[in-house]
């Protein structure tokens, strides 16, 4: 999914995560690197949360082995989780090879000695003596793995077992409850022990809520959903600094997705899930409250779910909701009110792939229906949709009824090059590009905030017929 605002996708494997920055009284931190074992390396630091999530915030193009390099991390990113990426050359003539290391940066200056070839090996990568955040996280994760292995297998067995009235099953429930209580007590101890550290805010993502295992498998899943928020502290603003917050919410949404047997059911279940989650976050810190609204906005926007977008509307009037997407949400809601079936599609003039000027109102198609699809060549969700739409539209009986105008919102040189390569495969479509991308006039007129978006138009009248969420929905509108 492009970007335009990074998002989760409703397969709900969202990669998704930009979150609202947290204002903390934190000084700039330093990360001092001592490289060895390679000829040299490009070094990049990528935050896992905040406005530049998963994008390099600091880059050093050439660090040589033996160099001592200092990275200054701005306070707005602290405390936080980062990926330290190395594109190293073993020898000067070698092809660069990537290696990534997850690190946590708090208020403590860090010094890291490492060989990029083995950047995740404890023998080849070490922090200074007395380092706190990463050492605490490493200890926690080590013991967590040991404790979770057996209890996870037991939970999986209980969720899927088909004889819930048997003595064996009841014995399993009792054993699970004992282990669950012991695990959560241990979790409380770890949170208290490391209370002064940022990483302690991430521990409770592993809390095990109570599950009523009696009833059908669906009933067990519903029970798991009901208790999902039981262990997390929504008053702690540091939880949204962690990449785990996004993963944790993805799992929550996925549970609802498991129950959706149709698109219509999905489009009712997910908005209901959003309402419950936002109402829960509303009781906590305003930053967490705002983050939750942002999270669901991205999901609804990227998956074209107007029912969900309407769920967000009441929260825009709440001054306690510190959403960073207020203007985008308002714009999308305005677009939902404006771009409706029966109105004239906004006119536009763009250059096509041959450099010729194309004006929509002057175009006279042969087919009775026009589909405008807004897309980007570096958008995975766009590629998925287009790779299904194109062969479907090219079929006899469809192509004579439907013409496609593909409007690219690619801006960077890399994106444009990918667009130029891709359109060679999409012969028969009219290819246009809005050079200003998301800031272009056409994106503004059609209220485009994320891609892909499709607009179906009656070629004779120029009126909008529908805003289909995917190509499967187009056929029922064709004349």
* Sequential DSSP letters for 239-306: GGGSHHHHHHHHHHHHHHHHT--SHHHHHHHHHHHHHHHHHHHHTS-HHHHHHHHHHHHHHHHHTT-H
Q: What is the spatial distance between Cα 8 and Cα 254, in angstroms, rounded to a whole number?
A: 11
User: Are 136 and 104 contacting, i.e. CB atoms less than 8 angstroms apart?
Assistant: no
Give the pLDDT score at 5: 30
CATH number at 433 reads 3.40.30.10
Torsion of CA 315, 318, 322, 327, to 10 degrees: 60
CA distance 190 to 287: 25
Q: Say yes or no: 93 and 223 in one domain.
A: no
Choose among 188, 215, 210: nearest CA to 200.
188
Question: In terms of domains, do 388 and 324 share one?
Answer: no
Cβ partners under 8 Å of residue 395, min gap 6: none
27 SS3 class: coil
Tell whether 342 is covered by a domain.
Answer: no
Strands (E), 122-187: 125-127
Residue where a domain terminates, one of 91, 116, 131: 131
In a domain, 4, yes or no: no
DSSP-derived 3-state class of residue 81: strand
Structural domain including 284 reads 134-337
Rg (CA), the chain: 26
Same domain membership, residue 150 and residue 54: no
pLDDT of 4 reads 34
How far is residue 79's CA from residue 49's CA, in Å, rounded to a whole number? 10
Q: Report if residue 109 sits inside a domain.
A: yes
Pairing of the two strands 80-89 and 97-105: antiparallel
Supply the pLDDT for residue 204. 95
DSSP state of 384: H
d(C-alpha 67, C-alpha 285), whole Å = 43
**Per-residue pLDDT at 210:** 86
Q: Which residue has the tokens 């991390």?
A: 73
Whole-angstrom distance, CA of residue 45 vs CA of residue 53: 10
Q: Would residue 7 count as lying in a domain?
A: no
Q: Does 404 reside within a domain?
A: yes
417 is a domain residue: yes
Same structural domain, 287 and 261: yes
Residues of the chain with pLDDT under 70: 1-26, 479
Parallel/antiparallel/unpaired status of strands 97-105 and 349-352: unpaired
Model pLDDT, residue 26: 55
Residue 369 and residue 332 in one domain: no
Neighbours of 66 (CB within 10 A): 9
Claim to verify: residue 73 and residue 145 sit in the same structural domain: no
Same domain for 303 and 382, yes or no, is no
Same domain, 325 and 375: no
CATH number at residue 104: 2.60.40.2190
Token pair of 90 as six digits:
């073993």
Q: According to the model, what pLDDT value does residue 18 have?
A: 37
Q: Give the domain-ending residue among 110, 131, 152.
A: 131
pLDDT at residue 465 in the model: 94
Q: What is the DSSP string of 417-434?
A: HHHHHHGGG-TTSEEEE-
Residues 278 and 413 both lie in one domain: no
Number of structural domains (the chain) is: 3
| d(C-alpha 431, C-alpha 405), whole Å | 6
Domain boundary among 84, 116, 131: 131
């Amino acid at each position: 999914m492009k970007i335009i605002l990074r998002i989760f996708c409703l397969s709900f494997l969202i990669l998704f995560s930009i979150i609202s920055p947290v204002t903390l009284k934190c000084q700039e931190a330093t990360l001092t690197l001592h490289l060895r074992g390679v000829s040299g390396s490009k070094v990049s630091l990528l935050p896992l949360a905040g406005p530049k999530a998963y994008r390099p915030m600091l880059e050093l193009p050439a660090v040589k082995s033996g160099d001592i390099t200092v990275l200054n991390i701005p306070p707005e990113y602290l405390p936080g989780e980062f990926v330290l990426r190395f594109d190293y050359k073993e020898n000067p003539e070698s092809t660069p090879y990537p290696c990534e290391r997850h690190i946590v940066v708090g208020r403590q200056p860090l010094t890291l000695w490492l060989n990029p070839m083995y950047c995740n090996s404890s023998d080849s990568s070490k922090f200074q003596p007395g380092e706190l955040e990463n050492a605490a996280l490493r200890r926690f994760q080590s013991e967590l793995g040991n404790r979770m292995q057996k209890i996870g297998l037991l939970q999986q067995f209980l969720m899927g077992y088909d004889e819930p009235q048997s003595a064996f099953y009841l014995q399993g429930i009792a054993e699970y409850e004992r282990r669950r209580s012991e695990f959560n007590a241990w979790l409380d101890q770890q949170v208290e022990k490391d209370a002064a550290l940022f990483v302690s805010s991430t521990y409770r993502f592993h809390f095990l809520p109570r599950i009523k295992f009696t009833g059908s498998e669906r009933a067990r899943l519903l029970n798991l959903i009901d208790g999902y928020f039981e262990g997390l502290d929504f008053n702690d603003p540091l939880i949204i600094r962690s990449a785990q917050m996004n993963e944790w919410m993805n799992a929550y949404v996925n549970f609802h997705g498991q129950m959706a047997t149709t698109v219509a059911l999905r489009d009712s279940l997910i908005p209901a899930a959003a309402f419950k989650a936002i109402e829960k976050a509303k009781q906590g810190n305003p930053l967490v409250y705002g983050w939750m609204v942002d999270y669901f906005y991205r999901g609804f926007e990227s998956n074209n779910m107007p029912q969900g977008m309407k769920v967000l509307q009441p929260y825009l009037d709440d001054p306690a909701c510190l959403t960073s997407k207020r203007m985008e949400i308002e714009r999308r809601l305005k677009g939902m009110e404006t771009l409706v079936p029966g109105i004239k599609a906004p006119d536009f003039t763009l250059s096509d792939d041959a450099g010729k000027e194309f004006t929509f109102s002057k175009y006279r198609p042969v087919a009775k229906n026009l589909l405008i699809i807004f897309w980007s060549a570096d958008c995975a969700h766009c590629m998925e949709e287009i790779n299904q739409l194109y062969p479907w539209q090219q079929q006899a009986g469809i192509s004579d009824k439907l013409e496609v105008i593909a409007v690219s919102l690619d801006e960077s040189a890399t994106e444009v090059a990918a667009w130029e390569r891709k359109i060679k495969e999409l012969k028969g479509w009219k290819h246009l590009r809005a050079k200003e991308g998301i800031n272009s006039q056409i994106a503004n007129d059609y209220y485009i905030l994320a891609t892909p978006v499709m607009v179906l138009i009656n070629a004779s009248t120029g009126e909008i017929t529908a805003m289909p969420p995917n190509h499967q929905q187009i056929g029922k509108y064709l004349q």
